[in-house]
Amino acid sequence: MNNRTPIIELRGAPHLRKAPSVDQIMRNVVYALLPICGFAVYQFGLSALALILATTLACICTEHLFCRLSDKPTTIGDFSAVITGLLLALTLPPGFPLWMAVVAGFVAIALTKVMFGGIGFNVFNPALVGRAFVQAAFPVAITTWTPAFAPGRFTEFIPSTLTLPFVVPKSVAGWVERIAVDGYTGATPLALQKFGDGNLEHVTTQNADLFFGMTAGSAGETSALLILVCGAYLAVRRMMDWHIPAAMLLGAFVTSGGFYLVDAGAYPTPLFTLLSGGLMLGALFMASDMVASPTTPRGVWIYGILIGFLTVIIRLFGGLPEGVMYAILFGNAASPLIGAFTQPRVYGTGRKKATKP
Amino acid sequence: MQPDDLTFIFLNAFIINNFVLAFFLGLCPFLGVSAKLDTAWNMGLATMFVMLVSSLCAYGVNMLLVEFNLEFLRLICYIAVIASAVQLVEITIKKVSPELFRALGIFLPLITTNCAILGLALFQTFKEYDFLQCLVYSAGAGAGFTLALMLMAGLRVKLDLADVPSISRGSAISFMLAGILSLTFMGFAGLGGH
Amino acid sequence: MADLHHKPTPITMDTFLRGIWKENPVFVMLLGLCPALAVTNTTMNAIGMGLATLFVLVCSSALVSLLRSVIPKQVRIASYIVIIATFVTIVDYAIHAISLELYNALGAFIQLIVANCVILGRAESYASKNRVTKSVVNAFGIGIGFTFALLCLGTVREVLGSGTILGYSLFGESFQPWVVMVLPPGGFFVIGAWLLLFSWLKERKQRKILKQEETARATG
Amino acid sequence: MGLKQLLGLGKATFSHGIHPPEYKAVTGSKAIRRLYFAPEMILPLSQHFGAPSIPIVHEGQEVVRGEVVARADGFMSVPLHAPATGIIKSIGLTRTARGPRVPAIVLKLHAGVSQEVLYDSPQDTSEMSPAAVIDAVKETGMVGLGGASFPTHVKMTVPEDHKVHTVMVNGCECEPYLTTDHRVMLEYSMDLFAGIQVAMKATGAEKAIIGIEDNKPDAIKALRNACPADGSVTVGVMETKYPQGAEKMMIKALIGKEVPSGGYPSSVGVSVFNVATLAQLGALLPQGHGLIERVVTISGPGIEKPGNYLVALGTPLRFVLDQLGFQGDARQLIVGGPMMGSSVASLDVPVTKGVSGILILTEEGISKQIPKKTWPCIRCAYCVQACPIHLNPSELGMLAAKRQYETMEEKYHLNDCFECGCCTYVCPSGIPLVQYFRIAKAINRENRERAA
Amino acid sequence: MSGDVQSQSPPMPSSLSMIRTLGLIAMISGLLVVLVARYTEPIIKEKERLALEQAVFQVIPGVVQATATRVSFALSEDGLVRLDEETGTGEANLFAVYDDSGMLMGIALQAAAQGYQDVVRTLYGYDPKCECIVGLVIMKSTDTPGMGDKNTLEGNRQFMANFDALSVQLAEDQSRLAHAVETVKHGTKTGIWQVDAISGATITSRAISRGLNESAQKMLPLIARHLHVLKVNN
């Protein structure tokens, strides 16, 4: 082409871009999750590995399938389905039957994402909806915990893992008894604390154990330190809004601290609250899900604190030992409202002008 | 907490056994009036108000019926009382505050056919609540209805801007949303239960 | 509507069938959702609730239609409500007498049939304007449509949620029930799934028609 | 931001904004040089904001450099002067940078003429009344040289109910690549101070602040030294951040006040002028010259001789680029800065009053910058944290995608957006937010006009 | 809409005709309701009695349904009142079961406590001789199906075995239980007054034992006071 004939192609300003693209962000979240997955596999062995693979594959396949069905180009390239799959696996008990994990993955993508128009429109965190669904559907299987660092975990599966589809999983009680050593039992620190022996004595796990992940629990929630480090990686790279985890941890800390001050005998210490259960994982990787959280600076704080508060309330007074999942889902549900009431004050408009919903 | 503790009664109606999300009561307005935030808010307020009034009326009527051993007329009386209570509320609001009437007016007739109101009256009778408990129960139910309605409205406004696939557009997506909300509220089960 | 009295339209198959599919109260008109979701965690409950509603619907339609020339316009809604409440009370007692178990399972939702907009809607928009036989035939159609919808929901929920149908085990002991289906969220999910299925079928049909038209145009 | 300022840690600035790479080193150190005259000049009649000028010459007429060739059409308009001595070739439609054709005068230069300005009427502004100063400014045809091309005399006319106490001189030049203001401040500082005096006189302000970003320490130092001893003119240093040079942002940074939404800087007692504008004014007014040339940064990886050049207005881009060694095509060409400038529709468009820079980017550079794919908004809120006006571009963008333009205006303050491009710059989904907003505003304006 | 309709509607008919119509409708409905209520009342009563009886007999081991009799009592601080089928007006809260010779076989009591979703109601059998709970049925539980519902609970043999002989021995002063009934984590039962929880349904298990404890703490001291009356059916 003659370079004297200009090619008319008007591009709008700005002509500079800086941001990481969506797939870059998503890929980095995956990188940040990989060490946690690695630790889960190290801790729980083959079953955790199978679980992670199962949910991830289920999520990817579901997304691909629906894209094919609706004649759209496949969207699995943006890694968001992978994130959903990994997060889902990390929140499930390590011995969770694989077929149930696949159900969870399918529900997560189909119900929360595809249904609403794909990435960017999932008003709830898909992984959590998937988990909440299987929690309601298979309440027994999802509260069956197995001990960490079981001997022979790299050579054999936890018996419940390989349950046939649509079949009740085998009881793992006998297996746990056989392999349990050094006092590692299947009970999670939270369950011990809540349903501890007798009605009054609460058994609390050592904070150091919680910090380094030497306990039973969901596949990827056990090591607070590792999760913090991986989350910090994202926050430093500005691929996660650090305000949300900060607000959520603050909310949980203050709420549980308040109760602890009122009655130190009945309530766990705030530190225990922060380190136990899925609070860390939820705060750093799920509540901070960009799509389902508010976009306004003030809204982000309210959202985080609300989730932290609800988590503690459900843990202390609810029927379940763990409340992070429900608290975050509630936060997701409330985030449009929070957003509507906390629109930023626009430059040059009155200071007190509240935006009417 | 005891099951007849006032706080527990409130929480129970408010979030644990939310009228809309656990009992499916008041689904028509829940799906119909949740497209916008301000209408949802007004509808919630109107419902809460009517709930309070009709719950107290139903309490009185039930006392009379039990007194005269006429329990078999309960349903007929309740529905009549609720319908007239709504009318009365409408007239009173119109007189007292025309402004409020303008905001709530169009919702009031809708409320008459809202099964949550009748459901509230029936539940409180089955649970044999006393006057104060009825008051708290209806306040909780109304607040719970408003909460569910507002959450739904927020989500729907957000989804208005989404590229929702054509087959799930409309009511299907509302039901799925309600389902996820209901799933979320299951987390509150057992709250204060020990 | 005045001339409806003079020139009654004949009863056709459509009077009856309309309510079952084209104007299905639950799937199309989205009315009466409260009982449709609240009690359909088992097929038995769904049938019970469906039949109870059918009964109230038919009886109240008949009575309203019978009294349609007597009831003054101003008090018509009040009259309809009283009539409906009467039949609901009757059904309530009847179910209580027939089966305690069903009565306990349905609970307050039998009495809540009163607030089911399907019934009041039929009375107001159909029975008050048509002859008794026609109203009854139409009410039958609507009632069966309602029961059918409840069955659609109830069967799916019971089969998945407890692995049984009408209480009989389908898959044997080893089946893992999906408990969520008999819980409230399951109700929402199942009706949502049915609606999705229907709109998918509709869309496919439309696409087919479009394609046919296109090929017709191309060849013709 | 507020906290930092309170503790005296940070430099004066506004909240939010972005830090794009500067790319200023190449041209910032090069002195301004004059460019050759092109054989043919194109003078669009609308080089300013407001009504186009009305030609007062006819085809075939000879004009002298500096002569008025088109007069102002009313108050919101400025006259146009001949940039060179020559003959009027035609008066008709010609292309512009943004695409649509506009009426223009085409001037054919006489070869071998000295091109000295012979058309002037020296005057002394210090003896004139403010109104007379404003008239004199209008006669120079001066517009804002920062890019907006808003007639300077209009800006100097303070609304009756407002009082201006400060003239703010905008030397931020926050757009990457551009260094014209930087060079002007260094090389024409005396003219600048003269211009500041004119502006102060016209607006009735008692003091003036020259706002400069801290990435130009030499300019800060030079101007500080040159400031008059009475303290009426000071230099304010601001953090280097985009869009620090936007009026509203600079006012916020320097005096901490916010211009009310929909209002003018004069509502908070401020008038803002670009340094290049005032420097030019300071040079032109005493001699009664018209605006016929300006300093343009020509930069970017696609040009052999980047630098700051004094270019006669009306010079076609093709000529400029030929002179400086460019072999590409129009796709890599941007008129203005990279953040707010536009890519050009044709190489035949001329340099006009508002052109502060011509950037030649490489095709690879562009394709690396502009995302190949657009994702739906993932609500990352980067844009919310970038918008200097504190809008919610994410929400606005979603509304725009659904064509809910009225809601955007009523609920989300669309009209406060000044299209700085920060939101698009940071958007990981590659959503062309600014373009959306531009379209939305245009459609709303159209609808309003249709309704009226 | 209302304004629209009113403008079209014919002039108000006389209020008399309105009242007449409403009166007519009220009469028809009243008649229907009363008829049905009167007809079904005995059937309903009989069914409820049977259901209760069945439950009561179920919680007392060794009952021969054909020969055993059930007597309802209202027991409170004010004393023990025998409620006969015909004369009884008060609320029954104690059901005594006698064998064919009129000797007390056991006592059925009601208990309730807030469970996971709603109140869990139970009926339990108390044997005064061994001072223990000898049987339990779940009357109502809406807790998670598959975990805490009636069928799952009653189908869990291991859990129900807790109530084959759960000690509710009274303390020395006869005013409270020697050991409160309490739930312990699955597999850690040590005392005969402890309930071994169902793993996974801890809340429901706890609700049951809490209900039992509350009811027993309140009723058993009262029963002890009136045991001589209850012992023989007369």
pLDDT tens per residue across span C170-211: 888 888 889 899 999 999 999 999 999 999 999 889 999 999
Q: In terms of Cα–Cα distance, which of D98, D92, D94, D167 is closest to D133?
A: D167
Indicate the average pLDDT of chain E: 81
Does the beta-carbon distance from B2 to E114 stay under 8 Å?
yes
Q: Which of A88-97, B101-110, C9-18, D112-121 has the highest mean pLDDT?
A: A88-97
Q: Which of D219-223, E127-131, E198-202 has the highest mean pLDDT?
A: D219-223
Residue E195 scores a pLDDT above 90: no
What is chain A's length?
Answer: 357
| A-to-B residue pairs, Cβ atoms closer than 8 angstroms | 98
Minimal CA separation from B27 to chain A, in Å: 18
Q: In terms of Cα–Cα distance, which of B68, B184, B53, B43 is closest to B120?
A: B53
- The identity of residue B131, as a single letter, is F
Average pLDDT over residues A50-77: 91
Return the partners of chain E (3 or more C-beta pairs < 8 Å).
A, B, C
**Rg, Å, chain D Cα set:** 22
Is the minimum CB–CB distance between A139 and chain E shorter than 8 Å?
yes
Say which residue, B58 or C6, is predicted with more confidence. B58
pLDDT at residue A34, as a whole number: 95
Residue A353 scores a pLDDT above 70: no
Q: What percent of chain A has pLDDT over 70?
A: 89
Domain enclosing residue E66, as ranges: 40-231
Cβ atoms of A219 and A93 closer than 8 Å: yes
Does the beta-carbon distance from B193 to E112 stay under 8 Å?
no
Is there a domain that residue B194 lies in? no
Say which residue, C15 or A282, is predicted with more confidence. A282
Q: Collect all residues of chain B within an 8 Å Cβ-Cβ radius of residue E34.
A: 72
Cβ atoms of A185 and A119 closer than 8 Å: no
CA distance C62 to C3: 21
Residue B171 scores a pLDDT above 80: yes
pLDDT at residue D213, as a whole number: 93
Burial class for D165, CB neighbours closer than 10 Å (0-12, 13-18, 19+): middle
- What residues contact residue A333 under an 8 Å CB cut-off, 6+ apart? A123, A124, B151, B154, B155, B180, B181, B184
Minimal CA separation from D140 to chain A, in Å: 31
Give tens-digit pLDDT for A249-261. Answer: 999 999 999 999 9
Angle at the Cα of C130 (from C126 to C133), degrees rounded to 5?
Answer: 105
Give tens-digit pLDDT for D391-421. Answer: 999 999 999 999 999 999 988 999 999 999 9
Residue D315 scores a pLDDT above 80: yes
Residue E1 scores a pLDDT above 60: no
CATH number at residue A289: 1.10.3430
Residue D35 scores a pLDDT above 70: yes
pLDDT at residue A355, as a whole number: 41
Angle at the Cα of A196 (from A190 to A200), degrees rounded to 5?
Answer: 120
Q: How many CA atoms lie within 13 A of B137 on its CB side?
A: 28
Does the beta-carbon distance from C86 to B168 stay under 8 Å?
no
- What residues contact residue A321 under an 8 Å CB cut-off, 6+ apart? A188, A190, A191, A193, A194, A195, A277, A315
CA distance B147 to D114: 81
Is there a domain that residue E16 lies in? no
Question: What is the pLDDT confidence band of residue D99, given thresholds at 50, 70 and 90?
Answer: low
Residue B94 scores a pLDDT above 90: no
- Total domains in chain C come to 1
Question: What is the pLDDT confidence band of residue C47, given thresholds at 50, 70 and 90?
Answer: very high
pLDDT at residue C4, as a whole number: 46
Does the beta-carbon distance from A12 to D376 stay under 8 Å?
no
Minimal CA separation from E200 to chain A, in Å: 6
Question: What is the pLDDT confidence band of residue E232, given thresholds at 50, 70 and 90?
Answer: confident
Is the minimum CB–CB distance between E203 and chain A shorter than 8 Å?
yes
Angle at the Cα of C36 (from B4 to C12), degrees rounded to 5?
Answer: 150
Option in E9, E47, E140 nearest C73 (CB): E9
Domain enclosing residue B110, as ranges: 6-188
Residue A23 scores a pLDDT above 50: yes
Is there a domain that residue A156 lies in? yes
The DSSP code for B71 is G
Q: What percent of chain A has pLDDT over 90?
A: 48
Does the beta-carbon distance from C82 to E25 stay under 8 Å?
yes
Average pLDDT over residues A324-334: 95
Closest residue in chain E to residue C66, using alpha carbons only:
E25
Give tens-digit pLDDT for B7-56. Answer: 889 998 999 889 999 999 988 888 888 888 888 888 888 889 889 999 99
Indicate the average pLDDT of chain C: 88
Check whether domain D14-29+121-287 has CATH 3.30.70.270, yes or no: no
User: C residues 48-87 near B, CB within 8 Å?
Assistant: 77-78, 81-82, 85-86
Indicate the average pLDDT of chain D: 88
pLDDT at residue A28, as a whole number: 94
Helix H or strand E encompassing D355:
none
pLDDT at residue E7, as a whole number: 43
Question: What is the pLDDT confidence band of residue B130, given thresholds at 50, 70 and 90?
Answer: very high
Average pLDDT over residues E2-13: 47
Please give the full DSSP string across chain E, using - where no structure is assigned. -HHHHHHHSPPPPPHHHHHHHHHHHHHHHHHHHHHHHHHHHHHHHHHHHHHHHHHHHHHSTT--TTT-EEEEEEEETTEEEEE-TTT--S---EEEEE-TTSBEEEEEEEEEEE-SSSEEEEEEEEETTTTEEEEEEEEE-BS-TTTTBHHHHHH-HHHHGGGSSEE--B-TTSSSBSS--EEE-TT---STTEEEPPTT-HHHHHHHHHHHHHHHHHHHHHHHHHHHHHHB--
pLDDT at residue A7, as a whole number: 46
Does the beta-carbon distance from C100 to E47 stay under 8 Å?
yes
Is there a domain that residue E48 lies in? yes
pLDDT at residue C186, as a whole number: 94
pLDDT at residue E9, as a whole number: 46
Structure-token pair, residue C178? 């999906």
pLDDT at residue D46, as a whole number: 87
pLDDT at residue D200, as a whole number: 93
Is the minimum CB–CB distance between C191 and chain B shorter than 8 Å?
yes
When mean pLDDT is compared across A149-153, C50-54, E54-58, the lowest value belongs to A149-153
Residue A184 scores a pLDDT above 60: no
pLDDT at residue B1, as a whole number: 53
Is there a domain that residue B180 lies in? yes
Give tens-digit pLDDT for D163-187. Answer: 999 999 999 999 999 999 999 999 9
Residue C63 scores a pLDDT above 60: yes
pLDDT at residue B2, as a whole number: 66
Structure-token pair, residue D393? 């571009």
Give tens-digit pLDDT for E81-124. Answer: 888 765 556 678 888 888 888 888 889 998 988 887 778 889 99
Residue D276 scores a pLDDT above 90: yes
Test mutation, C170, C173, C180, C188, chain A, max A CBs within 10 A: C180
Is there a domain that residue B115 lies in? yes
Percentages (nearest 5) of helix, strand, coil residues in chain D: 35, 20, 45
Question: What is the pLDDT confidence band of residue E8, given thresholds at 50, 70 and 90?
Answer: very low
- Total domains in chain B come to 1
Residue A179 scores a pLDDT above 80: no
Is there a domain that residue A4 lies in? no
Is there a domain that residue A1 lies in? no
Give tens-digit pLDDT for A193-217. Answer: 766 543 434 456 677 777 777 777 8
Minimal CA separation from E147 to chain A, in Å: 7
Residue A131 scores a pLDDT above 90: yes
Q: Collect all residues of chain B within an 8 Å Cβ-Cβ radius of residue D401.
A: 161
Q: In terms of Cα–Cα distance, which of D350, E23, D54, A130 is closest to C70?
A: E23
Is there a domain that residue B1 lies in? no
Q: How many CA atoms lie within 13 A of A201 on its CB side?
A: 9
Helix H or strand E encompassing D135:
helix D130-139
pLDDT at residue C7, as a whole number: 56
Say which residue, D326 or D189, is predicted with more confidence. D189
Residues of chain D with CATH 3.40.50.11540: 14-29+121-287
Q: What percent of chain D has pLDDT over 70?
A: 94
Give tens-digit pLDDT for A152-165. Answer: 888 888 888 888 88
| B-to-C residue pairs, Cβ atoms closer than 8 angstroms | 113
| B-to-E residue pairs, Cβ atoms closer than 8 angstroms | 34
Option in E116, E184, E202 nearest A198 (CB): E184
Does the beta-carbon distance from C38 to B28 stay under 8 Å?
no
Q: How far is CA C16 from the centre of its chain?
A: 13
Does the beta-carbon distance from B8 to E114 stay under 8 Å?
yes
pLDDT at residue D123, as a whole number: 81
Number of neighbours of residue D350 by Cβ within 10 angstroms: 29
pLDDT at residue B56, as a whole number: 92
Option in B25, B73, B83 nearest C81 (CB): B83
Is the minimum CB–CB distance between C188 and chain E shorter than 8 Å?
no
Residue A3 scores a pLDDT above 60: no
CA distance D261 to D273: 20
When mean pLDDT is compared across A17-31, D3-17, D259-273, the lowest value belongs to D3-17
- Total domains in chain A come to 1
Q: Collect all residues of chain D within an 8 Å Cβ-Cβ radius of residue B162.
A: 376
Does the beta-carbon distance from E115 to B16 stay under 8 Å?
no
Say which residue, D32 or E88, is predicted with more confidence. D32
Question: What is the pLDDT confidence band of residue C1, given thresholds at 50, 70 and 90?
Answer: very low
Q: Collect all residues of chain B within an 8 Å Cβ-Cβ radius of residue C203.
A: 166-167
Q: Collect all residues of chain E within an 8 Å Cβ-Cβ radius of residue A195.
A: 185, 197, 202
Q: In terms of Cα–Cα distance, which of D246, D336, D439, D343 is closest to A12?
A: D343
Is the minimum CB–CB distance between C219 and chain A shorter than 8 Å?
no
Test mutation, B169, B188, B194, chain A, max A CBs within 10 A: B188
Question: What is the pLDDT confidence band of residue C220, given thresholds at 50, 70 and 90?
Answer: low
Is the minimum CB–CB distance between B188 and chain C shorter than 8 Å?
no
Question: What is the pLDDT confidence band of residue D192, given thresholds at 50, 70 and 90?
Answer: very high
Is there a domain that residue B134 lies in? yes
Cβ atoms of B44 and B141 closer than 8 Å: no
Phi, psi values for residue A105, rounded to 5°: -65, -45
Is there a domain that residue E35 lies in? no
Give tens-digit pLDDT for D130-150. Answer: 999 999 999 999 999 887 789
- Total domains in chain E come to 1
Give tens-digit pLDDT for E29-74. Answer: 889 999 999 999 889 888 888 888 888 888 888 888 778 888 888 8
In terms of DSSP bridges, do strands D342-343 and C164-165 run parallel, antiparallel, or are they unpaired? Answer: unpaired
Domain enclosing residue C22, as ranges: 2-165+175-204
Does the beta-carbon distance from C183 to E51 stay under 8 Å?
no
Q: Which of A35-39, B104-108, E80-84, E117-121 has the highest mean pLDDT?
A: A35-39
- C touches D, CB cut-off 8 Å, minimum 3 pairs: no
Residue E187 scores a pLDDT above 80: no
Does the beta-carbon distance from C100 to E48 stay under 8 Å?
yes
Is there a domain that residue A287 lies in? yes
Q: Collect all residues of chain A within an 8 Å Cβ-Cβ radius of residue D265.
A: none
Question: What is the pLDDT confidence band of residue D2, given thresholds at 50, 70 and 90?
Answer: very low
Helix H or strand E encompassing D140:
none
Is there a domain that residue E31 lies in? no
Say which residue, C8 or E229, is predicted with more confidence. E229
Residue D1 scores a pLDDT above 50: no
Question: What is the pLDDT confidence band of residue D209, given thresholds at 50, 70 and 90?
Answer: very high
Does the beta-carbon distance from E200 to A140 stay under 8 Å?
yes
